[in-house]
Structure 1
């Protein structure tokens, strides 16, 4: 049942092409363009998209933090850095696991968590 469930998420991106390349290389997402100012992402665990905008999504300004999961946190962190992301918080432990925060190439903040080793 889809009713009353989170179904879609939209995020800003200063450069749609740059974010599409980053997320396809790091996380294996696919994309479907809807014009020149919107792209939907696929294979991300939740449907959503990026819209062209001159601002970014950061929890410090009241935005929700989207958290991804990884079976290999260290490898994902290195891939984020290699593909142009910026590490905002290095790997740290929290009750139930470990995670790090990063900024995508357009400045949106994300987190990736993994289970304790």
Structure 2
């Protein structure tokens, strides 16, 4: 696991997420292209990532649909949606309004569904 910057940690907040991936290289390319995550490889079966507010990893395995929904924040929802589509993501719920702002949902190349929101 990546050494976590303790200044980013908040009491009882999510600080590390691990995904299963059928193709770790593909996952790294997708998330680097869309969100600028930085990766560190630990052999061929595991890679960790660092984002601005959460760290995590990808390990070899078959993704399970319908698990926890990861929600990312963006300052420009249209630009983020365009990056997701250009990188090969599939939009599952187009941009919609909700009481806290606007969001969309997509699946990545492994089939995980994530959401992106803005206020």
How high is the TM-score relative to the length of structure 1? 0.87
1:112 counterpart residue number: 116
1:75 counterpart residue number: 79
Q: 1 CA distance for matches of 2:77 and 2:102?
A: 8
Q: List gaps (5 residues or longer) in structure 2.
A: 1-5
Q: 3-state SS of the aligned residue for 1:80? A: helix
Q: List gaps (5 residues or longer) in structure 1.
A: none
1:93 counterpart residue number: 97
List per-residue Cα deviations over 1:32-54 (Å, max 9, x = no partner). 01111111011242111111112
2:39 counterpart residue number: 31
How many equivalent pairs are there? Answer: 111
What is the CA distance between 1:5 and its match in structure 2? 4.1
After superposing on structure 2, the runs of 4+ consecutive aligned residues of structure 1 that deviate more than 6 Å are: none
Q: 1 CA distance for matches of 2:20 and 2:52?
A: 16
Structure 2 vs 1, CA of residues 9 and 24 (structure 1 numbering), >3 Å: closer, same or farther?
Answer: same
